[in-house]
Amino acid sequence: MRREYVDELERHLADAANLAAGGDFEGPYFTEGQIRGRIQFVCWVNCGRERQLMRRFRAIRWEKVAEEARNRGLVAAKKVLAKRA
């Protein structure tokens, strides 16, 4: 695994923490699930990184991240098909 991938993942974690606090955000925006999947991939390749990455992941207030992302327009609205009566 390339070191750049892990560096970018760590930047995404920092971005998410900043977003939860209403701070600066570099982007692009990744959801909690997307970042979790990237962490799982890194840990699959190098299980020695799991403790540090998961500690950072769990410290993030993800509900605040999602709320701030919606407020900033970083999340596309989900389209729902509804049957007309």
pLDDT digits (tens, 9 = 90+) for 31-45: 999 999 999 999 999
The SS3 assignment for 63 reads helix
The tokens describing 45, both together, are: 């390749």
pLDDT classification of 77: cutoffs 50, 70, 90 = low
What is the per-residue pLDDT for 78?
Answer: 67
The SS3 assignment for 3 reads helix
Instruction: Say how far apart CA 49 and CA 61 lie, in whole Å.
Output: 21
Instruction: Say how far apart CA 29 and CA 65 lie, in whole Å.
Output: 10
Cβ(29)–Cβ(69) below 8 Å: yes
The SS3 assignment for 22 reads coil
